[in-house]
Each structure stands twice: as structure tokens, then as C-alpha cells.
Amino acid sequence: MSQAPGAQPSPPSVYHERQRLELCAVHALNNVLQQQLFSQEAADEICKRPLSQLALPRVLGLILNLPSPVSLGLLSLPLRRRHWVALRQVDGVYYNLDSKLRAPEVLGNEDGVRAFLAAALAQGLCEVLLVVTKEVEEKGSWLRAD
């Protein structure tokens, strides 16, 4: 079917969610998938479920984006900022390498780092990025098969 000369084709129907609260990850997923498949609750559940399935020995490190309270001296303000924190295993021991700490904080073994992650996720509005080698990423082996 041909169009009249000079006529513009109709624009495609593009699914687009606008920002609401701090749900940009949910909006980004739905926008890429071009439909509303994920809710905040579904995204939260996905984050909690892979926690127990993480193959931590295959993960070089974790980077967390956490809510961080704002204070003025001893006065705590009702504001929240975001802060990035690194977790890493060194010689079989996991550490919290938060740059706000005076020294690395020992988290211990895998159970210790999983407990730290669970507590961070329970606070809400926490993002976790896994740092893995290209090989691990390509194989998806950062998750246990069981």
C-alpha cells in the first residue's frame, strides 16, 4: 500500500514508562522489554532470590548502592543520599571496603557476606552490581546451577 506524496508514516507505538519514585531499574527493564512485566515487588523478589544462588567464589567483588543518611554534626537530617560500597574476598575472607570506614570491615566467610547483603537489601532501595570476569559473565556461571 503506498502513501500519498509527502505524507509521514505513522510513528510506531513505543512503550515508555516515566520515572516514578526511585524505581528507575524497574522502568528500564519494562522499557527495554516494551511492556509492563516488572513491578517493584517483583524486582525486589528477584534481587532476594538470586542472593542465595550466587556462586560467590566466581564473583570478583560486589558493588552496592545504598541509602546513606545525611547529618550535620550530631544532627541527623531527614534526607537520604546514595553511597557506593565495595565488598571483596581477599585470601578467603570477605571485607566491606566502604570508603567511609577507617579500615576494611571483616564480614567473614560466604555466610557473613550473604548476611550483610540480606541486611542491605532489607533496607530497601539497594542496588547490587556483580563484578565478574568476561568468561563468568558469558557463561552466566555467577549463579549456582542447583
Residues labelled as active-site residues: 24, 83
The closest of 95, 63, 97, 101 to 82, measured between CA atoms, is: 63
Q: Are 86 and 23 within 8 A, CB to CB?
A: no
User: Sign of dihedral through CA atoms 51, 54, 56, 59?
Assistant: negative
Report the SS3 class of residue 120: helix
Spatial strand order of the sheet with 61-72 comes to 105-108, 93-96, 75-90, 61-72, 127-131
